[in-house]
Structure 1
Amino acid sequence: MVPLILELEAPMDRAEAMEILVAAVDRGGFTAAAVHLGVTPSAVSKAITRLEQRLGVRLLERTTRRIVPTPAGQDYLDSARRIIGAIDDAEAVAMASGGRPQGRLRVNSGISFAMRQLAPALVAFGAAYPDIRLDLTVEDRICDVIGEELDVAIRTGPVTDERLVARRFAEIRRVIVASPAYLERHGVPKRPADLARHACLAITTTADMARWPFREDGQLSQITVQGPVRIGTAEGALALALADLGIARVGDMLAAPSIREGRLVRLLPDTHVDDPIPMHLVFPPGRQRLPKVRAFLDFVSARFSASPWRL
């Protein structure tokens, strides 16, 4: 990253000004940006004021609670992020011969994997690569890796964007589960057809999530389940199952800890079709040449290639 040496009245290059502005917006204020950058809040305020004066346009709307980019400020901010990222990448490429991974690494992941698997592993990653600054966004949506200038995204399921390189690193299998308390009250389903008499918790992300596949006597069939609650996420379905509200079909990555602890019981394992779901690391072509990206790809692949949540 561009070195930041800021005196209150010292001249400042454009990259430094951009970095200060981005830090102020990303950190939600001048004080937090100052702590992040190692300067005083007044230095951040004056730097942004000088930048606005030089450009002749207001970039930020300031209130007592937060700062918000103006329309012109948002346009400038978007360009500043691209430029700072390009500087980071240029420096990383220049140092590639030395093999020292460093710089800001922009990663996107879905919520479940990020919170349950990736976050606990980041202690080891940080210890192995102390010069990498991880910028992790966590959300359940298919982000535009190239448009949002990410280094790596972690995707569950097939990758259809032909602009991206995809590296498969793990697999999730779905399981059907319910709590012991629910089963005590309503009985244990012995055959797939028994699910018609149970409260099944359908996930609404796609239409087929309410159709659960089974194989009996060599024949593949699907049962459309229904119950008192339909919910938009697998995390939500798991929480409802743990609250004794019904039977859920979720990934083993989510359910395995509760099954091992006895808080959930796996149902119909002999007939249920578990629908293996691949997990991929996706990135723009050539990005893996950057030491920081290569380090993250190799770390995640090595850490999770055995699908450690497997039952």
Structure 2
Amino acid sequence: MPYRPRSTLEQWRILQAVVDAGGYAQAADVLNKSQSSLNHAVAKLQTQLGVELLEVRGRKAYLTEAGEVMLRRSRLLTQQVEDLELLAANINQGWEPEIRIAVELAYPRHYLNQALAAFYPLSRGSRIQLINSVITGSAEIIQQKRADLVIAASAVIPKGYLGEPLCTTRFVPVTGSNNPLATIATLDQNELSQHLQLVIRDTAQKPQENAGWLRAEQRWTVDNFYEAIEILQLGLGFCWLPDFLISNAVADGSLVQLKMTNNSERLATISLIAPQEDTLGPGSKQLRQLILAAHDKT
């Protein structure tokens, strides 16, 4: 006798929403459904399975131990269904109407621009959406599959995903020419940590400040490297910046590279990742090859 599921994908999606949103009321707002319908769906799911998944304490619902295991497995199931439906859509469309590319700010954009220029005559009208990402924000985009192609630092690629190395970005510590740091012959890390550090905002929804040199107690956070450069040129703070971005400013004397007793540079390998390789559309595949080719020319 063929197996008949006792639960539905919709029930599992509702359970996920209740957990992710922090409660039935919040999930009802996210899903645009009534709170009572969500209560009923989860209660019915628990009855059908014969397992208690959630327990309510006060006004908040908490996962039971069994619920944690079931929820984790359900996410794999719903993601597989989404991937399957996306594959069907790509097969039906033949060529995707939009291609999303997430790009780490530390990546030299001229490579991507060359690839985009070569892609334009082949694009068949596909829209291109570029998404700036930083540090763990790139990892989050990969895990949540919010982009077709992701250019990210290899160090943040989540387990289970493969990247194709593109290039290596060299970060160096710099300050403004009118900052007292610029006059010091050599600095050690302890001395540097006593000064104002400019850092680039992590684009993750839940950023983890565990990447890069972050020892300074006083830090100002900005959205991109160009904002940091403008502040540095006013004589405020220091920042670790990609050498390809600051070469002109160092040459004209408005920025000065700090001389360190050790660890005077940081190297970051940048890779290209396709979070959904199995369902990658033909346009995205074509663009990926052009990005790789742009690096082969150098």
Alignment TM-score, normalising by the size of structure 2: 0.54
Structure-2 change in CA distance of 1:69 and 1:163 (3 Å): closer
Pairing 1:290–2:268 present: no
Tell me the distance in 1 between the aligned counterparts of 2:38 and 2:189: 63
How far does residue 233 in structure 1 lie from its aligned partner after superposition?
A: 4.7
* Equivalent AA in structure 2 for residue 25 of structure 1: V
Tell me the distance in 2 between the aligned counterparts of 1:27 and 1:65: 13
For 2:247, the equivalent position in structure 1 comes to: none
For 2:245, the equivalent position in structure 1 comes to: none
Tell me the distance in 1 between the aligned counterparts of 2:159 and 2:213: 29
How far does residue 23 in structure 1 lie from its aligned partner after superposition?
A: 1.1
- 1:175 touches 1:274 (CA, 8 Å); kept in 2? yes
Q: Where does the alignment leave 5 or more consecutive residues of structure 1 unmatched?
A: 1-11, 114-127, 203-230, 244-252, 307-311
* Equivalent AA in structure 1 for residue 212 of structure 2: A
* Equivalent AA in structure 2 for residue 258 of structure 1: A
Q: Where does the alignment leave 5 or more consecutive residues of structure 2 unmatched?
A: 1-5, 107-126, 195-208, 239-254
How far does residue 151 in structure 1 lie from its aligned partner after superposition?
A: 7.9
Tell me the distance in 2 between the aligned counterparts of 1:296 and 1:151: 16
How far does residue 160 in structure 1 lie from its aligned partner after superposition?
A: 9.5
For 2:172, the equivalent position in structure 1 comes to: 175
For 1:188, the equivalent position in structure 2 comes to: 183
Tell me the C-alpha RMSD between the 2 structures.
5.2
Pairing 1:257–2:251 present: no
Structure-2 change in CA distance of 1:242 and 1:27 (3 Å): closer
For 2:218, the equivalent position in structure 1 comes to: 240
How far does residue 234 in structure 1 lie from its aligned partner after superposition?
A: 3.4
For 1:93, the equivalent position in structure 2 comes to: 87
Q: Deviations over 1:31-83 (max 9, x none)?
A: 22222222111100111011111111210121234222111111111111111
Q: Deviations over 1:276-296 (max 9, x none)?
A: 422224356xx3242479759
- 1:238 touches 1:255 (CA, 8 Å); kept in 2? no
Tell me the distance in 2 between the aligned counterparts of 1:68 and 1:94: 36
The number of aligned residues is 224
Tell me the distance in 2 between the aligned counterparts of 1:109 and 1:81: 26
- Aligned-pair identity in percent equals 18
For 2:271, the equivalent position in structure 1 comes to: 280
For 1:208, the equivalent position in structure 2 comes to: none
Tell me the distance in 1 between the aligned counterparts of 2:66 and 2:73: 11
| Equivalent in 9, 18, 27 of residue 12 of structure 2 | 18
How far does residue 20 in structure 1 lie from its aligned partner after superposition?
A: 0.8
For 2:42, the equivalent position in structure 1 comes to: 48
* Equivalent AA in structure 2 for residue 72 of structure 1: A
Q: Deviations over 1:257-287 (max 9, x none)?
A: 3223323464337999645422224356xx3
For 1:309, the equivalent position in structure 2 comes to: none
Tell me the distance in 2 between the aligned counterparts of 1:77 and 1:281: 31
Matches within 5 A, 1:45-194: 45-97=39-91, 98-99=93-94, 139=136, 155-157=152-154, 164-168=161-165, 172-178=169-175, 183-184=179-180, 188-190=183-185, 194=186
SS at match of 2:173: strand
Alignment TM-score, normalising by the size of structure 1: 0.52
- 2:172 touches 2:266 (CA, 8 Å); kept in 1? no
